Structure 1
Amino acid sequence: MIARFPKARLILASKSASRRAMLDAAGVTYEAIPADVDERAVEASLEGAAPGEIAEALAVAKAAALAPAHPDALVLGSDSLVVVDGRRFDKPESREAAADHLCFFSGKVMELHSGAAIVRGGGCEWSHAAIARLHVRDLSDSFIESYLAAEWPEIGYCAGAFRIEAMGVQLFDHIEGDQFTVLGMPLLPVLGALREFGVIEA
């Protein structure tokens, strides 16, 4: 049973517009504060771990980075990572890298792992990871060029080089998994945890 923290203040440890939009649309009151975390160092410490475990650990790390400075609050962290053909893909560092990623993704199944965690003070109170499988259609060179002309540099902040709520939806012909996981946070389990914690009404 999750311990309840009545009227607890909620902090979202993220600057992600899509994660903020999800919480806003769900009617959750929160404050957004970006977390400063060396994601590569966290990943290196988890070498050999499953992608879902890494996404969950990154979510915990982001929340834990802010929690000590806000002991009265519950801190929600979230992170996503992409795997295609067994290969991890981070956010593209340049337009050229994004084009390379998209060429590699063409005709393949993208696994998108989204993790979330809630930390209070010095401990993780709750965490969860979910997966969506996105079937990338065959992408022509001309489509990739026009797509990047429209979407760069915004997709430079996105694992998988796409925003599903924008032109990125054109990359796929089939998606397995819920839209929230694709957007970068397993929202339904998060809302369930927030109800248990007393942040939102049960």
Structure 2
Amino acid sequence: MATALILASGSLIRAQLLRGAGLDFSIETAPVDEAEIRIALQAEGASAGDTAIVLAEAKALRVSRKRPGALVIGCDQMLDCNGVWFEKPGDRDHARAHLQALRGRDHTLSSGIVVARDGQRIWHHLSTARLSVRPLSEAFIEAYLDAAGEAVLNSVGAYQLEGLGAQLFSRIEGDYFTILGLPLLPLLDFLRLQGVLKR
């Protein structure tokens, strides 16, 4: 009997990446108080990367405890710009403020992924990318927000590299999948070792 694979995330892009890679999985979102965890870890001096892993683990474990034997994938992403952590914007005004704060500056995106089985973390991976946002005019920001619409609210930093967000950057260092929020290649390697995918 095949091992059940569950994505503990409501992210459309993560689901698209997994489907595109040929994986058969179900989706079950995990109710986790992400803001409370972030605040507590930042107060303790944790890095953005460590926080991404903790959040990913919290999601994976929450679902794993209810789904015996399944491999549950939890993911999270943190954006750090000179020590300031950004979250997904709540509305257009917040998205505009994010883009204004990031323009002309470098920042890092840390994408953490955790796989759990039977309520235990059995694998994790952290990948970080560095991105440089070009100087953006106010007119460009408004036109970008008009064109991108509510899609920008689904992405930390208010951008989506796979679409119009590519116009925001002057340089990117790191893995494309990491920037999209799912370090896919290490996950596929792990799933091959687990027999979920052919070697």
Question: Could you state the TM-score of these two structures normalised by the residue count of structure 2?
Answer: 0.95
The one-letter code sitting in structure 1 at the alignment partner of 2:22 is G
Aligned to 2:179: 182
| Unpaired stretches in structure 2, ≥5 consecutive residues | none
The aligned amino acid for 2:92 is: R
CA–CA distance in structure 1, aligned partners of residues 34 and 105 of structure 2: 26
**2:12 aligned with 1:17, yes or no?**
yes
Instruction: Tell me, yes or no, if structure 1 residue 192 matches structure 2 residue 189.
Output: yes
Match of 2:62 among 61, 65, 72: 65
Rounded Cα–Cα distance in structure 1 between residues aligned with 2:3 and 2:169: 40
Q: How big is the shift at 1:121?
A: 1.1
Are 2:3 and 1:40 equivalent residues in the alignment?
no
CA–CA separation in structure 1 for the residues paired with 2:192 and 2:56: 19
Q: Could you say which residue in structure 2 is the equivalent of 1:122?
A: 119
- The CA deviation at 1:44 is 2.9
1:95-115 residue CA offsets vs partner (Å, 9 max, x unmatched):
111111101101101211100
Find out whether 1:162 has 2:152 as its counterpart. Answer: no
Partner secondary structure for residue 65 of structure 2: helix
Which residue is 2:47 aligned to? Answer: 50
Give the distance between the partners of 2:145 and 2:107, measured in 1 at CA: 19
Match of 2:25 in 1: 30
Instruction: Kindly provide the CA deviation profile for residues 7-58 of structure 1, in whole angstroms up to 9, marking residues without a partner as x.
Output: 3110001111111111111111111112111101222332311111111111
Contact kept? 2:62, 2:119, Cα under 8 Å: no
Task: Give the equivalent residue in structure 2 for 1:3.
Answer: none
What is the TM-score normalised by the length of structure 1? 0.94
Distance in structure 1 (CA, Å) of the matches to 2:109 and 2:87: 11
1:72 positional shift = 2.3
- Shift of the alpha carbon at 1:184? 0.5
How many corresponding residue pairs? 197
Three-state SS of the structure 2 residue aligned to 1:18 is: helix
What is the rounded CA distance, in whole Å, between the counterparts of 2:36 and 2:116 in structure 1? 20
Structure 1 gap ranges (5+): 1-5
C-alpha separation between the residues in 2 aligned to 1:23 and 1:113? 19
Aligned residue identity for 1:178: D
Give the 3-state SS of the residue equivalent to 1:152 in structure 2: helix
Q: Deviations over 1:82-134 (max 9, x none)?
A: 11122100111121111111011011012111000001112100111100111
Question: Percent identity, aligned pairs only?
Answer: 42
Q: Which whole-Å CA distance do the structure 2 matches of 1:36 and 1:87 have between them?
A: 25
Moved over 3 A (4+): none
Q: Which has the higher contact order (CA 8 A, sep 6+)?
A: 1
| Paired residue secondary structure (1:19) | helix
